[in-house]
Amino acid sequence: MRYAIDEIEQDGFRTIRLADRAADLHVSIAPEIGNNAFEMLHHGHDFLWRPEQSLRSLRDKKLLFGIPFLAPWANRLDQDRYWINCKPYLINRDLGNIREDPNNQPIHGLMLFEPWEVESASADNTGAQLICRYDFTTKPASMAQFPFAHQLEMTHTVRDGRLHVSVRMISQSTEPLAVSIGFHPYFRLPETSRENWALDVPARTRLALNQNNIPTGEKIAISPERLSLQGVYPDDVFTDLVRNGGRHAEVNACCGNTGIRVGFGPKYSVAVVYAPRNRDFICIEPMTAITNAFNLAHAGGYEGLQHIAPRGTWEEEFWVEPSMP
């Protein structure tokens, strides 16, 4: 059979490997560490970046790697207060579950290293699939920071040479639930030099950011074109994504015939690209909203914030396709 699934113990953690044998694609996920896809082998080469440490060390040190999930807010908040439904909510640092950026701003939400429950893992003639669930409502420290009752379902599927990642949010709240989630994939292009990488971002707008990487409100019109990363170190927020003939916008990083393509479903309306100096990775990040979306939407500076109706659901996917000669 083309598709297969294996369960492997690594560093004391249960990990699930999804395989597409025909495409020679093998993806490993650690449900106990944020449900993070931490390895993507294509022709034996890993297209996901992580520090050269054990999974336990990465978890204990709270280091980012693989494809971490950012929720209930992605990127930064500009202060320890955010607004949803015209009401202010306060961050409580004393609970010890807030990650800070270099400017002491809350960043990347509460879910990075949370353990998920495996609902099912299966393979058939259509693909290999892992479904995991997380009940946010049962976590008092998380609910104290974001008091909107909801559950999450994440599905990783390997099919036709791609990894598909779908998230379903089920609201149990009696008020609208604002959606500002995303993923922060760390990609690498094996057997290549970072200075030879190029990037295609199908976007019409780049947002101006202040010194703390918060959008200022200024929108810069751009033309979708290939960008060489030689001497260029982007940390940018893109909107007005151009969709192809299907439903996805495709961001591509490449070096010759080696590359990674990321397809953004329609509800992932924002792309963040981060490729810092002296590092051999590039982050191509599907986001449902811009940085600091809760506060900017409340201030009237952002109209794209999505909401889930009371007791409603929200669902979207992105996909990743590696290529190598």
CA distance linking residue 312 with residue 223, whole number of Å: 37
**pLDDT at site 225:** 85
**pLDDT at site 245:** 77
Q: Read out DSSP for 76-115? A: B-SSSEEEETTEEEE--GGGS---B-TTS-BBSBS-TT--
pLDDT for residue 62 is more than 90: yes
Give the tens place of pLDDT for each residue, 211-222. Answer: 999 999 999 999
pLDDT for residue 246 is more than 80: no
Domain boundaries, given as residue ranges, for the chain: 3-323
**pLDDT at site 164:** 98
**pLDDT at site 28:** 98
pLDDT above 90 as % of the chain:
98
**pLDDT at site 116:** 98
Q: Does residue 168 contact residue 35 with C-beta atoms inside 8 Å? A: no
Q: Does residue 16 contact residue 129 with C-beta atoms inside 8 Å? A: no
Give the tens place of pLDDT for each residue, 104-127. Answer: 999 999 999 999 999 999 999 999
Domain 3-323 has CATH 3.30.565.10: no
- Residue 61: phi and psi, rounded to 5, are -85, -5
**pLDDT at site 257:** 96
Average pLDDT over residues 272-280: 95
**pLDDT at site 244:** 80
Average pLDDT, the chain: 97
**pLDDT at site 224:** 85
Give the tens place of pLDDT for each residue, 134-182. Answer: 999 999 999 999 999 999 999 999 999 999 999 999 999 999 999 999 9
At 36, which helix (H) or strand (E)?
strand 36-42
